[in-house]
Structure 1
Amino acid sequence: MQQEAPSNRHVRHATRADYDSILKIYAHARDVMKRNGNPSQWGDIYPLASDVLHDIELNRSMLLVDDDSQNGVERLLGVFAICKGSDPTYASIDGAWLDDDPYVAFHRVASSGLARHTAHDMIDWAVRHYRNVRADTHENNLAMQHIFESSGFARCGIITLPPREIGIRERIAFQRHI
């Protein structure tokens, strides 16, 4: 069973003032993925700066933050996007979703590296608030696969992303519905 997040951790919507910090978090995540044998999921460019701005403008960019009691400032621990409504990339799956109920898609998950268990805390928040969550990750992203599975997600099959500039397009699809 997962430990509860420390009480000073919470999730909030990102704002334009967070933009530069979010870009740094994504750069950190790309470096970590490369060091852990997953250089092609995001390559050197994903998510694009325009994706980050678009997520902020659509109010779907979320931040896991805590209050650093030693310095009295908020620390950005992680970023993710919550996309409401049907995700076109999830319309076709080699496999089967758990159900056809309304869901949110959990995308662009990244940790700043400042604290442990940030991905679990972000996933837990999404499941508590939306109850039916779908997500996907690259076959080489073993860490994220483990996090989804240890958070109670089921592997549902393989989805194919639309054409883009980097990497293979197939992703392992996950879902959790409570």
Structure 2
Amino acid sequence: MDDAPHRHHHTSHPAGHDGHRRPASGQPSLNAIAFRATVHCLSGCAVGEVLGMVIGTAVGLSNGATIALAVALAFVFGYAFTFFPLLRSGMTLRAAVRVAFAADTASIALMELVDNGMMLVIPGAMDAGLAAPLFWGALAVSLLVAGTAAFPLNRFLIQRGKGHALAHASH
């Protein structure tokens, strides 16, 4: 069966069915860019979050102190995952700091709010020891939900030339 008329229909309109322009051939879609930005940001957040939760739990910090440590480390690692590649690309220290803060702050903040909020509402998650499957399961689910929550934010920011779009434009 010849599908040329069908193919012509889709290629004759520059906008997709959702009204957004299709990317040029070989270019990733806005959703793909936002997904990669979210995974990138979630990676840094997760390293800091897990490290903070493990340290806080291992040394017996209160829930509040453990969360504060986890949030601080999530921001440190989240920014670092953007900052160091920018430096390696030849960007000045000052410019790399500015771009990393502009690119990641909103996404990290949302992820941390969702992730730690979930850890607090999952019964027993914060009080479970490091050997407890509840601790690790709750942390994994919390991070996945946090990444899911951050995706639309990252997509919105990138579409407007903000957020991770600033870091990508700098490479």
Q: TM-score range by the shorter chain?
A: under 0.3
Larger Rg belongs to = 2
TM-score by length of 2: 0.28
Give the structure with the higher percent strand.
1
Give the structure with the higher percent helix.
2
TM-score by length of 1: 0.27
